[in-house]
Amino acid sequence: MRIIIASDHAGYKLKKSLIEFLDKKYSVKDFGTDSEESVDYPDFGFSASEKVAQGEFDRGILICGTGIGMSIVANKVKGIRAALCNSVEIAKLSRQHNDANILVLAGRFMNKDLAVEIVKTWLNTEFNGGRHKRRIDKIKYFEMK
Ligand code: RB5
């Protein structure tokens, strides 16, 4: 699985910790930012989301301070279903029910251990399809209009 990960300054530390974990098991592209110097999350979130939407990467992980800015950005990109997850259970459901292709985390409100558990679950949970596919198809239809 090809994964792209990006953050702003507020997500930088958590992103680095996650890369250490992910690098052992997956092919991960770090798309910035590269320090805790203040930057604007749309500059990283839009480009990373577009790369997932275009199929260059299978999944994306975006991190900002609250996760809200990155969620807003990612969900404006056609084909992206970004899920801001603060628990393992929500992460699991975001895959099973929503087929989320981007996971968003709140860098300022999440410790590393919980983030790793969320990421593990999110990467290893399949979409359930069925009635959930019908709902996703409605989103896709809306995007085509
Ligand atoms: C940056 O200070 C902060 O606003 C950003 O990381 C994010 O939380 C925005 O939603």
pLDDT in tens, 98-116: 999 999 999 999 999 999 9
**pLDDT tens per residue across span 69-100:** 999 999 999 999 999 999 999 999 999 999 99
Confidence band (pLDDT; 50, 70, 90) for 145? Answer: very high
Nearest CA to ligand 1 atom 7: 65
Which ranges constitute the DSSP H helices of the chain?
12-23, 41-53, 68-74, 88-96, 112-124, 131-144
Ligand 1: atom nearest CA of 68 is: 10
What topology is assigned to 2-144 in CATH?
Answer: Ribose 5-phosphate Isomerase B; Chain: A, (3.40.1400)
Q: What lines the ligand 1 site, CB under 6 Å?
A: 8, 10, 41, 64-66, 68-69
Q: Which residue CA neighbors atom 6 of ligand 1 most closely?
A: 65
SS3 13: helix
Q: Which residues are known to be catalytic?
A: 64, 97
User: What does the pLDDT look like over 22-67, one tens digit per residue?
Assistant: 998 999 999 999 999 999 999 999 999 999 999 999 999 999 999 9
pTM score of the predicted model: 0.98
* Distances from the Cα of 82 to the Cα of 16, 31, 34, 36, 47, angstroms: 20, 17, 22, 24, 14
